[in-house]
Structure 1
């Protein structure tokens, strides 16, 4: 049976501020509705993604800014970073991990610049939303078999 990740819920403190932030990134607004009981659900989708993010009022009991490690896969890490910077986002410099495969949490073992061999899956940049939810850009130029 197919199981597709459709939505990631991110906890935020200010719904309108978050809607504006993600909208400024060029993410498509799919929904913004308020139920009679005050539940507010905002859904946005990154360009080209099959998975959306949802945030709002009464959507999550997690602390705002507590989500880590959400990944946005991009074909060109430097171009993606530059686009985010043009949109006013503070983004880390491009990095790769000293271990060479995936990145450690936080800034441990970060080596400046893209992977020297420009292998797929091994070059990254990171940023946070206004609440501190962390995002990682990951360059994927050639998918592993079966992906």
Structure 2
């Protein structure tokens, strides 16, 4: 039985502002439904992604901005960072982690620049949506076996 990740629910305070932000990134609008004034479902999909995000009104009790560590995989970290910056997103500089395995929470143990070996899975950049939901770009150029 496959268990495929399909949707992440993002806690946001202003669905219209979030819609404008993610559409500004070039994400595809899949749905925008309102059944009453207190319930709205907006679904968008990042370019090339099989999984989507949903946000709106009446969808979660989580505090706006509390989703952290959401990863977007890219094959060129520097080009992806430049694209986001060119779209007006406040995106971090490219970094790798001092431990070399995965990045720490927040900005702890960040080392400026891509992974020195340019190893797949080792280079990152980060940004936040208008509510502070935290996204991480991760460069993957060669997948581990079985992935």
Q: TM-score band, normalised by the shorter chain?
A: over 0.9
Q: CA RMSD in A?
A: 0.7
Quote how far apart the aligned CAs of 1:56 are: 0.3
1:39-67: CA deviation from partner (whole Å, max 9, x where unpaired): 10000000000000000000111000001
Quote how far apart the aligned CAs of 1:38 are: 3.0
Question: So what's the TM-score if we normalise by structure 2?
Answer: 0.99
Question: So what's the TM-score if we normalise by structure 1?
Answer: 0.99
Alignment of 1:71-86 (within 5 A): 71-86=71-86
**Is 1:46 aligned with 2:46?**
yes
Match of 2:21 in 1: 21
Match of 1:113 in 2: 113
Give the gaps of 5 or more residues in structure 1: none
**Matched pairs, number:** 147
1:77-125: CA deviation from partner (whole Å, max 9, x where unpaired): 0000000001110000000000001000011110000000000000000
Is the alpha carbon distance of 1:35 and 1:75 closer, same or farther for their aligned partners in structure 2, counting shifts above 3 Å?
same
